[in-house]
Structure formats: C-alpha cells, structure tokens
Amino acid sequence: MTPGGRVAIRTRALTKVFRGFRAVDAVDLEVREGSVHALVGPNGAGKTTLFNLLTGFLAPTSGTITVFDEDVTGLPPERVARRGVARSFQITSLFDTLTCREHVELALQGHSRQGFRFWRSEKLLGRHRARVDELLAQVGLMSLADKQAGLLAYGQKRALELALVLALDPPVMLLDEPTAGMGIEDVDRTIELVRRLASGRTVVFVDHNMHVVGSLADRVTVLQQGKILAEGGYDEVRRDERVITAYLGEAEHA
Amino acid sequence: MTHSVIREAPPAGADAPVTASNPRLRWILLAVGLVAALALPWFIYPPVAMDIVALALFAIALDILLGFTGLLSFGHAAFWGSSAYVTGLIATHYGVPFPVAVIGGAVFAMILALPIGYVSVRRSGIYFAMVTLAFAQMVYFIGYQWSDLTGGENGLQGVPRSFFGIELVETESFYFYYAALPILLFGMWAAWRIVHSPFGRVLVSIRDNTPRARALGYDADKYKAVAFVLSAGLTGLAGGVFAINHGFVALTELHWTTSGDVVLMTVLGGIGTLWGGIVGAFLTVTLADYLASSGFHGIDLITGSVFVLVVLLFRRGIWGTVRHRWNIRRLRRASARAGQGYSSPDGNSRHTTSGEGTGR
C-alpha cells in the first residue's frame, strides 16, 4: 500500500447540480495510485453522487475527471469501466437469475471482449473456469458457485459483488459501502478481503462504519453538503474540529 | 422469470428450461417438435400449416427481445411486412428461387432495423414500445402511399413461387411446405443459438439489471441494438416465407395489428421460453382457422377472450406454465431425495442448487 507517484483519479471543480441543489460542489479530489482512500460524510453529503460521477453513471454539471491523466469526463459507465475503473453498488445489484459462476463468467467475458459472439455456444465460457474458481474461492463463495444470486444470503451477495469487481481486474476499484447492512463478523471478513484485494490497486470506498474506515483507509476525505470539509490520514481527520462537529463526533457512537 | 414487462420474483430455478434437468429431454423435445413439424401438413391444410410455422418463427424472433432482452417491441410488423414486400418484389421481378427472395427480404428487414433499433433502444419500457410503434406506422404509411411499388391497398398480387423448376413445389402447397420448412427451422435454431450464446447471456444480464451490466463494461444500448437487428432478421425470414406461401402480400402485414398479434402469440405461449412462440402461433392460427371455416365472424372476440383467460390464469403463458410446474415437481422430488429438504444458508429456501437457473 505504498502510494505511488501517480494520481489515479483527479477531479477539478467537479460539480453536480440537481434542480438547483448542489449535490457535489466544486470538489477537487486527488486519489494517489495504490492508496486506499475513504470518502466519508453524513447522509446527503454527496458521497454516492460523487461515486456516480466518477463512474459515469451521472454526467457532471461542470468540472473534469481524469483517470491516470486521461480525461473521462462525461463518458458512459461502460467506457469508464473499460478504462479500468470498476465499481460495486451500495444496494446489492446482481442478476437474480444467474448463478455465482455465471456472474463471474459474465464479468470476465466482458473483459476479454467476447460479448458479441451470438453464433457461439455459451459453453465457450468454460475456458474461464480456472479463473472463475479462483475468484469465487477468494471471496469464499466456491461452495455456492452454482447457486442463483437471488437465493444468496445478504453477506454472500456482498461477497459476490466484490468478486464481480475483482473479475474485471481493475487498477481502480470503487466500493460503495462494502459493509452496508452487515453483521460484525461479516464486516471483519470484508475488511480482510478488501485489504487483500487492495494490494497493487487503488481503492476508493464509501463507508459509514468508522471501524472500517480506520482499518482500511490510508487517506480520508470528509464531505459535507457536497464540499470537501477535510482531508488527511484517519487520525488526523478524526481530530479535526470541523469534522467532529459536522460528523465524526456523532458517528463514533454509532 | 423476471424481465421488465411483467415483474415477478424469480422462483428459484423453477423457470429454467425443462431440458436443464435432463439433457436427454432436450433431444426428446426436439424430436417431437420435428416430427410435429413434418407431420403438420398431413393434418392441417398445408398453407395454414405453413402460416403456423412462419408465425411461430415470428413469435420466437420477438421473444429474443421480449423474453431475453426485456424489450417489448410494438413495431415488428415493420420487419415482417417489409420483408414480405421485398421478398414478393424480388420473386416477381427477378424470378429467382423463392429461398433467395426470402433471404433478400430478411436482409432488407435487418437493414431497416439498423436505424430503427439504433434510435429505439435509447428508450426503455413503454417508450421503447411507442417508438417502435411509431416507426412501424411510418413504414406502413410508405407501403400504403407507394402504391406503384407495393400495390397500395390492393396489396402485392401474383407473387410467383419459383423453386429451381421443380413443379411440384411450385404448384402444390403440400410440397412447398417441405421446401420452405428448412428456412424456418433454421431461423428457430438461430434464435436458440443466439439465446444460448455468450451474447445471449449478456442480454439476460441487461434484462435483469442494466446498470450493473454497464458497470461491467457492457454497452447496453449496443447489445440491445444488435439483438433488435437479429430479431428483425429472423422476423424477416418468417415474413418472406409467409409472402411466398400466400402468393400475395396484403397491406395488413405492415399494419400495427400484426405487431399486436405477434405480441399476443408470444405472451400466450410464454415469454422467455422460445417454445412458447410455437405454442402461441399454433393455438392462434388453428383457432382462427377453425372459427373462420365454421363461418363464425367474431374471431377476434374469441381469440381475445382466450388470451385474457390464459394471461389471468397462467401468467407465465402456456409453455411457461408447463415448464414451471415441471420444474417445481422436479425440485420437490430432488429435495425429497436429499432427505430433509435442502436448506440454504439463509435458511428459508428449500430449493437445491440448481445450476441452470438462467431463465433460458
């Protein structure tokens, strides 16, 4: 987790206005390559909007986004994904009728550009088998490989989310509340997992759980009302007066 | 089966293809289907039999969009009808063997589907349906106005049925049936291939959860557009054979009611099943034929009532319901064999890990 020299994601004066409401307001964010960067802030601070901007699910009102110095402002989500920025979703977002294995195959297949082969059998995807097994094993879903995602328990769905992100082998991973709604054991397991997955990658994540933020993040950006309130290491940020009044003080007890 | 038109929770592998439980069953089903297709003109007036198979392919082609991509096209008459016209025109003016004319019609339908698909897939749900309908109405208008070419209201008369000089095929509809059947069976096989390809899996993922598919790097609009064009091409094959079968192309083939009829057939048979299209087309055509030959005039009244009843009682459609029941029974037996009944880690699902629940 040694921060490299390059900047993985940089935003300049990034702004998103919804009918007059400035959800993200002139944000200058800099995520160094190889770092694990947390975005925190109270509800409605603009974290998820910022995520959606970074991954192309929303187009910014103004400002720019670059990924490894390439401009990705306004690109659609699939093209941002193909630039190596993979995301997970806050609300578990899977394909209910596909099995775990098929999920991972789907992610791998997009990565290897086989998606348009309508004249081939889907058995073609069997060639990814070893890699699929490896990914499912990494997130602890090997025994459930042939189970439909709609039937998984909550924690398992979150793990499958991670497997999907991982299958894209992205230089940059954006995890939207990877531990949302989890019990304590699952949270600790997920922290371990993310820590393992983070090596050699840049990770940006949103989480409300300060235990998660404290255990994972090299760097924390605190958002409030769409603006950056404070930024720095976890300990540095948690001692910041403004942050304590705005957010951390109350969240600590949660 | 989930998709954007009729939402319901996926019932745990119960909507998997029946063949998934037993690969031999696929061959049995295929053999039965093939025998039925070959035997059909012995029992049903051959031109009607041909209509059934052509409409079955039409419904199957629509199902690629409706069942597997989650797009309700309400403008497929444009592809069916325009292919019928182009096939008829090629056959009339060039005297080529009819399969060549049919292929020409299908290619035309695909070319027509390119711009229509490109624009329509930018919208989803009811808006997609309306945009496709609007395009189809434009095509209808062209067919109506350009009467020098299409015959306008009178339709395109006297389409010849040339087949390498083999007179039996050219004059006897019984033999023509067997000459045209391979084209339609090929179309059905192609639909099956598309649905069970890596591409088909992407379509299902887009149907289930479009934003997630995009986050995996899939350009959903592009996939939908390709599916649209492929569906139009298969529709074109069916429409071309239909035109040759009748030796005549009526303006009705472009009319929006044709788009509606095929949606009814597909839903009646069961969307997302492929086989359902065959069931739907068979029922609709034989029912209409029976009523017409018995001198009954309210055909639409009866077929409409049947449709309403089926959708109310079996919302998965006929084939979809058969498949559902079959799978439920199979899963029950499997869990009975497993002793206690399978309990999954979340503790509330009794179904086995059926690795085939892709809804295909």
Return the ∠ at Cα B33 (arms to B28 and B37), rounded to 5°: 150
What's the pLDDT at B356? 34
Query: Do both A97 and A122 map to the same domain?
Result: yes
Whether residue A142 is found in the same domain as residue A71:
no
Q: Is the pLDDT of residue B346 over 70?
A: no
Model confidence at B175: pLDDT above 60: yes
Average pLDDT along chain A? 83
- Looking at the predicted structure, is the pLDDT value of residue A253 above 60? no
- Contact of B210 with B57, CB cutoff 8 Å: no
What is the rounded CA–CA span in Å between residue B296 and residue B65?
Answer: 34
For an interface test with A, which of B197, B216, B271, B354 has the most A Cβ atoms less than 10 Å from its Cβ? B216
Give the number of other Cβ atoms within 10 Å of residue B45's Cβ: 13
Distance from CA of B1 to the nearest CA of A (A): 8
Average pLDDT, integer, range A50-54: 91
Residue A117 and residue B344: Cβ atoms within 8 Å?
no
- State how far the Cα of B159 lies from the Cα of B177, in Å rounded to an integer: 16
Over residues B207-224, mean pLDDT: 90
Exposure pattern of B47-63 as b/e (b: 16+ CB <10 Å)? bbbbbbbbbbbbbbbbb
Share of chain B above pLDDT 70, in %: 88
What pLDDT does B16 receive? 65
The total of structural domains in chain A comes to 2
Q: How confident is the model at residue A111 (pLDDT cuts 50, 70, 90)?
A: low
Give pLDDT tens digits for A56-72.
999 999 999 999 888 99
CA distance A225 to B111: 51
* CATH (one of 2.60.120, 3.40.190, 1.10.3470, 3.40.50) for B18-337: 1.10.3470
The CATH number that applies at residue A211 is 3.40.50.300
Overall average pLDDT of the A229-252 stretch: 73
What is the model's pTM? 0.85
Interface of B with A (CB under 8 A): 1-2, 9-10, 12-13, 15, 193-194, 196-202, 204-205, 208-209, 211-220, 223, 226, 230, 344-346, 349, 351, 353-355, 357-359
d(CA A229, CA A177): 20
- Per-residue CA distances from B244 to A192, A220, B169 (Å): 67, 70, 12
Residues A19 and A60 in one domain: yes
Task: Encode pLDDT of B110-129 as tens digits.
Answer: 999 999 999 999 988 889 99
A87 membership: H or E segment, kind and range: strand A85-87
Based on the fold, state whether residues A114 and A60 are members of the same structural domain.
no
In residues, how long is chain B? 360
Query: Which residues, in sequence order, are CB contacts of A87 under 8 Å at separation 6+?
Result: A51, A54, A55, A81, A165, A173, A174, A175, A176, B215
User: Does pLDDT of B11 surpass 50?
Assistant: no
- Which residue from A121, A119, A125, A117 is spatially nearest to B186, judged by alpha carbons? A119
Q: Do both A34 and A145 map to the same domain?
A: no
Task: Say which range, A12-16, A46-50, A125-129, B97-101, has the weakest mean pLDDT.
Answer: A125-129
Alpha helices, DSSP H, located in A93-233: 100-111, 129-138, 154-167, 184-198, 210-216
CA distances from B275 to B13, B58, B309 (A): 18, 12, 20
**Which sequence spans correspond to the domains of chain B?**
18-337
Judged on CB neighbours under 10 Å (0-12, 13-18, 19+), B148 is exposed
Instruction: State how far the Cα of B4 lies from the Cα of B85, in Å rounded to an integer.
Output: 33
Residue A2 in any domain: the answer is no
What value does the mean pLDDT take over residues A161-165? 87
Convert the pLDDT of each residue in B74-95 to its tens digit.
999 999 999 999 999 998 888 8
Q: What is the pLDDT of residues B306-345, one digit of tens each?
A: 888 887 888 888 888 888 888 888 878 877 776 544 444 4
A78 and A188 housed in the same domain: yes
Q: Which of B199, B208, B217 sits opposite A117 (nearest CB)?
A: B199
Average pLDDT of chain B, as a whole number: 83
pLDDT, residue B187, reads 94
A175 shares its domain with A249: yes
- Among B1, B15, B198, the residue with its CB nearest the CB of A120 is B198
Residue in chain A nearest B216 by alpha carbon = A107
A182: left (phi over 0), alpha (psi -120 to 50) or beta: beta
- Between CA A97 and CA A150 the distance in angstroms is 6
Query: Which residues, 6 or more positions from A78, have their beta carbon under 8 angstroms from its beta carbon?
Result: A56, B214, B215, B216, B217, B218, B219, B220
Q: What is the pLDDT of residue A187?
A: 84
Query: Would A1 be classed as within a structural domain?
Result: no
Mark whether A222 and A101 lie in a shared domain: no
Q: Which of A105, A122, A153 corresponds to the end of one domain?
A: A153
**Residue A112: pLDDT over 80:** no
Alpha-carbon gap, residue B296 to B291, rounded angstroms: 5
Residues A99, A221 within the same domain:
no
**Rounded to a whole number, what is the distance in Å from the CA of A250 to chain B's nearest CA?**
33
**What range defines the domain where residue A115 resides?**
93-153
pLDDT at position B10 is 41
Beta carbons of A57 and B344 less than 8 Å apart: no
A130 and A238 housed in the same domain: no
Mean pLDDT is highest, among A97-111, B167-181, B274-288, for B274-288
